[in-house]
Amino acid sequence: MKSVTLLTTLMLGLCASSQAALYIGSIPNGGIIQDGNLSGWTGAASVSGLSGSIATVQVNLNVTGGYNGDLYAYLSYDGKLIPLLNRVGVGAGDSFGYSASGFNNITLADAGSLNIHSVASPAANGTYLADGRNISPLSAPGLFDTTSSATFASTFGGMNPNGDWTLFFADASGGGGTSTITSWSLDIITAVPEPINVALGVFGGLFLIGSLCRSERLQKLFGKTQTAEVE
């Protein structure tokens, strides 16, 4: 039975695996996000050569200058998007949001423990949940108090990862200075099924072990029966 359990575990491990790949995004126009201009800035990352479907995505950002509470950003792909930043800190008690300047090599990922919207001073190299508030950055402050349930996995999970991804940034309120994107990248994790013949081979092994176990039990039973007849 231990052998069967071990083989079952190996089978589950072989039938599904994952792979991750890092893609560097473009920085057009020097990465400058015009102050108080909702037309914004757009960068792109072209993804190719990945097999399997998307399990989740991570976005790495390096932004300098400006006023964080003014910034609105989203990642979009194949008709879907997730807001990464939506005027962090804005809420019923704060119409302007957090005054910190820039995001020093932060990662936005489903593994984050805090939503970036509630982080006044993001730690360098920190990992946070994406803002996820899918409302206009010009919405009434009180609307930002609603907690978002949007995740990278729920937004992009199951999709083909190969294609053109878009990062959009805009400054929704003038007067806070100019923000600049110095770098950004995507970590895309895909779930990759193993070839069917591997799974079939493992199932064949399970069938063989099961047959051997049954044969061994029959031999023991038959041996006991012969012993009883001799006695």
The per-residue pLDDT for 147 is: 87
What are the helix (H) ranges across the chain?
A: 2-15, 152-156, 196-230
- Residue 89: left if φ>0, alpha if ψ -120 to 50, beta else—which one? left
SS3 state of residue 97: coil
- Tell me the domain boundaries of the chain: 19-193, 195-231
> pLDDT (tens digit, 9 = 90+) per residue, 167-177?
999 999 999 99
pTM: 0.78
Band (pLDDT 50/70/90 cuts) for residue 17 is confident
CB atoms within 10 A of CB 130: 28
> pLDDT (tens digit, 9 = 90+) per residue, 59-97?
999 999 999 999 999 999 999 999 999 999 999 999 999
Query: Does the pLDDT at position 125 exceed 60?
Result: yes
Query: Does the pLDDT at position 35 exceed 80?
Result: yes
Q: How far is residue 85's CA from residue 26's CA, in Å, rounded to a whole number?
A: 19
The per-residue pLDDT for 151 is: 98
Q: How far is residue 104's CA from residue 2's CA, in Å, rounded to a whole number?
A: 50
Please give the helix or strand (H or E) that residue 46 lies within, else none: strand 41-47
Most confident of 10-14, 115-119, 205-209, 224-228: 115-119
Band (pLDDT 50/70/90 cuts) for residue 18 is confident
Q: How far is residue 108's CA from residue 106's CA, in Å, rounded to a whole number?
A: 7
Q: Please, is 61 exposed, middle or buried when counting C-beta atoms within 10 Å of its C-beta (0-12, 13-18, 19+)?
A: buried
Q: Name 1's Cβ contacts closer than 8 Å, sequence gap at least 6.
A: 213
Average pLDDT score, the chain: 85
Query: Does the pLDDT at position 123 exceed 60?
Result: yes
SS3 state of residue 172: coil
What is the third-level CATH fold of 19-193? Jelly Rolls (2.60.120)
